[in-house]
Structure 1
Amino acid sequence: MTARRIIVGYDRSTDAKAAARWALDEALRTGAAVEFLYAYEWPAWLPATSTVPAPSVWPDGETDRAIQGALNEAAALAKQSHPSVPTHVTFVHNSAALELIGRSAGASLVVLGCRGHSGVTGLLGSVSVAVSAHAKCPVVVVRGEPAGEAPVVVGVDDSPSAQVALVFAVEAALARGVGLRVIRAWPQVTGLWEQSQIVTRVVTEQERRPFDELIAGWQRKHPELTISAEAVVAHPAAALAEAGRDAQLLVVGTRGRGAMLGMVLGSVSQHVLRHSPCTVVVAHGEQ
């Protein structure tokens, strides 16, 4: 992870404040600067008929001042808690998702809360979904308060995006001084024999060999890093969400293999973003 600039999507919500804390801690580790970005898209409401006078559709100065005040407050709190981290604030009139996606090309990370200001609890915010799918850099969706010694977990297969995720996870584990759990899931038996005691699914030695060789290569490269390699027979989304219960960070690629390859964001990534109990990183970029 190149130490450049971490962008925090900030709207003063509880989840955005948690994202800010995470970003500041990460900046302290990497030497990056943190930008608090508040993108405000004023609803362009028009009356149902042209005979009704239309109200102003652009925010007044009071709204702008309130938002700028919230950003200044965030920067002041960051100065108190992380005095060595450079910070600045940005306020734009635009869609939050579009603004964050556009700015991600020049960032090392985009960090978001899991919901933002939403009247529906328990759901992943639409901004998080859109940015995770289309950003040009890794996107972090902050959730939970894990112990500092908890490991980093990453899901891999043989897709290019999974290798990008593994690189990110290795660097994250090294930076935090914690272990790394690498999970490779193979499909379960389905169809007619799914409930049969006769036919069971096991990962063969031949299937597992490339995975073991991959892990051995990373272990040779970083002998100081404790790596556990887990080959499981399970749906990868379920296996990773379960592993997130004991992790401080869960890293996934943007797409896996199979029929879901053409989707905007892979089905595994979507499931993990919605159901992981810990912070999730969707790794974009090149190895």
Structure 2
Amino acid sequence: MTKPVVVGLDGSPSSLDAVAAAAHEAALRGTQLRLVHAFGAPPLHALAGGPAWNPAAAGVRELLDGTLTAAERRAHEVAAGIDIARDVTVGDPLTVLEIASRTSALVVVGSRGLNAFGSLLLGSTAAHLAAHGRCPVLVVRGRRNPAGPVLLAVDDAPASEEAVRFAFAEASLRGADLNALHVCRTGSPDSYDGPADPPFVTSSENHLREHAEQVLKDALSGPQERHPHVTVRRMPLVGRVRHTLVEASADARLVVAGARGRGGFTGLLLGSVSQALLHHAHCPVAVVRHRQ
């Protein structure tokens, strides 16, 4: 059976936007859309002066039914004939979605959520899943340009390989062009994005651009042969890496970036470029983790 597209719900406007994007992705793939709503266990102690926690009295069942019904309605507005499954689970949302990612083609979440007990904290959820998920994670943010290209952030590390394959597949599904961008930083302080940048280099801009062109050639040649119908624009640039990618996302329908998949901290797993895109990109961002 084809793996489903999973979307995390919490009833917020952001999660409904994620449902719309997930429905579109499931329709493109011809697969099932799985709506996942996870809520935590009840608090150990009732709030001071308040009644004991009671799911029925709190209207949890009605809340869930309303959230799921609204999500299904939104999904069918995007893809009328799509197959939808509901999955309501008691548990930590981060853990539930991470487990779901093991058997999914794609996990979709919004960039912001409800900051309340029992909700998906989608800001932290997005970063956590991007770092630890077992499948590509799509974070719905900004506004996509429906006629724009898929923008691929190409790295010269193995972490980029799976992101490159995913980006070609997404461009093919959408009938979109693929803009593949690799940015080399100069030794100028103007190209310094922040403390996460590598040390200054002293190479000339011509040398750096030649290096960027070679990185793109090496990364794209194989996948481009497998997707000859995808129009690819190679963009070897010199400048501020994160700033350049965020600016380029303004005209894109989707940005794809890799995650290194090393270390035990979210920042190390994602890298500064992926984190910057998750926080500042102008359109949805797909993070594809390299699985060693």
Query: Is TM (by shorter chain) over 0.5?
Result: yes
> Is 176-185 or 143-152 further displaced after alignment?
143-152
Q: 1:158 to 1:230 in 2, by over 3 A?
A: same
Candidates 52, 56, 63, aligned match of 1:56:
52
Q: Is 1:250 aligned to residue 255 of structure 2?
A: yes
Please give the alpha-carbon distance, in whole angstroms, between the structure 1 residues aligned to 2:267 and 2:13: 34
Could you tell me which residue of structure 2 aligns to residue 205 of structure 1? 210
SS at 1:263 equivalent: helix
Please give the alpha-carbon distance, in whole angstroms, between the structure 2 residues aligned to 1:81 and 1:104: 23
| Structure 2 gap segments, 5+ residues each | 193-201
Please give the alpha-carbon distance, in whole angstroms, between the structure 2 residues aligned to 1:131 and 1:262: 12
Please give the alpha-carbon distance, in whole angstroms, between the structure 2 residues aligned to 1:5 and 1:247: 25
Equivalent residue letter for 2:157: S
Question: How far does the alpha carbon of each residue in 1:96-133 deviate from its partner, in whole angstroms, 9 at most, with x for none?
Answer: 111101111011111001101149xxx97111111111
Please give the alpha-carbon distance, in whole angstroms, between the structure 2 residues aligned to 1:18 and 1:249: 15
Q: 1:19 to 1:218 in 2, by over 3 A?
A: same
Candidates 263, 269, 272, aligned match of 2:277:
272
Aligned length: 274
Q: Contact 1:136 / 1:285 at 8 angstroms: preserved in 2?
A: no
Please give the alpha-carbon distance, in whole angstroms, between the structure 1 residues aligned to 2:212 and 2:19: 42
Identity among equivalent positions (%) equals 30
Equivalent residue letter for 2:137: V
> Which portions of structure 1, spanning 4 or more consecutive aligned residues, are displaced by more than 6 angstroms?
none
Q: Contact 1:157 / 1:256 at 8 angstroms: preserved in 2?
A: no
Q: 1:81 to 1:242 in 2, by over 3 A?
A: closer
SS at 1:251 equivalent: strand
Q: Is 1:106 aligned to residue 111 of structure 2?
A: no
SS at 2:68 equivalent: helix
Pairwise CA RMSD? 3.1
Could you tell me which residue of structure 2 aligns to residue 97 of structure 1? 94
Please give the alpha-carbon distance, in whole angstroms, between the structure 2 residues aligned to 1:222 and 1:199: 34
Please give the alpha-carbon distance, in whole angstroms, between the structure 2 residues aligned to 1:131 and 1:245: 24
Please give the alpha-carbon distance, in whole angstroms, between the structure 1 residues aligned to 2:261 and 2:127: 17
SS at 1:125 equivalent: helix
Q: After TM superposition, give the deviation of residue 27 of structure 1 in Å.
A: 1.0
Please give the alpha-carbon distance, in whole angstroms, between the structure 1 residues aligned to 2:21 and 2:86: 17
Candidates 170, 173, 183, aligned match of 2:171:
173
> Is 87-96 or 215-224 further displaced after alignment?
215-224
Please give the alpha-carbon distance, in whole angstroms, between the structure 1 residues aligned to 2:63 and 2:9: 13
Please give the alpha-carbon distance, in whole angstroms, between the structure 1 residues aligned to 2:133 and 2:261: 17
Alignment of 1:1-287 (within 5 A): 3-42=2-41, 44-46=43-45, 56-57=52-53, 59-60=55-56, 62-79=59-76, 81-118=78-115, 125-190=123-188, 200-202=204-206, 203=208, 205=210, 208-255=213-260, 263-284=268-289
Q: 1:3 to 1:160 in 2, by over 3 A?
A: farther
Please give the alpha-carbon distance, in whole angstroms, between the structure 1 residues aligned to 2:205 and 2:251: 26
Question: How far does the alpha carbon of each residue in 1:175-227 deviate from its partner, in whole angstroms, 9 at most, with x for none?
Answer: 11111000111122157x99xxx985332536633432443444443332110
SS at 1:90 equivalent: strand
SS at 2:270 equivalent: coil
Q: Contact 2:128 / 2:266 at 8 angstroms: preserved in 1?
A: no
Q: After TM superposition, give the deviation of residue 84 of structure 1 in Å.
A: 1.7
| Structure 1 gap segments, 5+ residues each | none
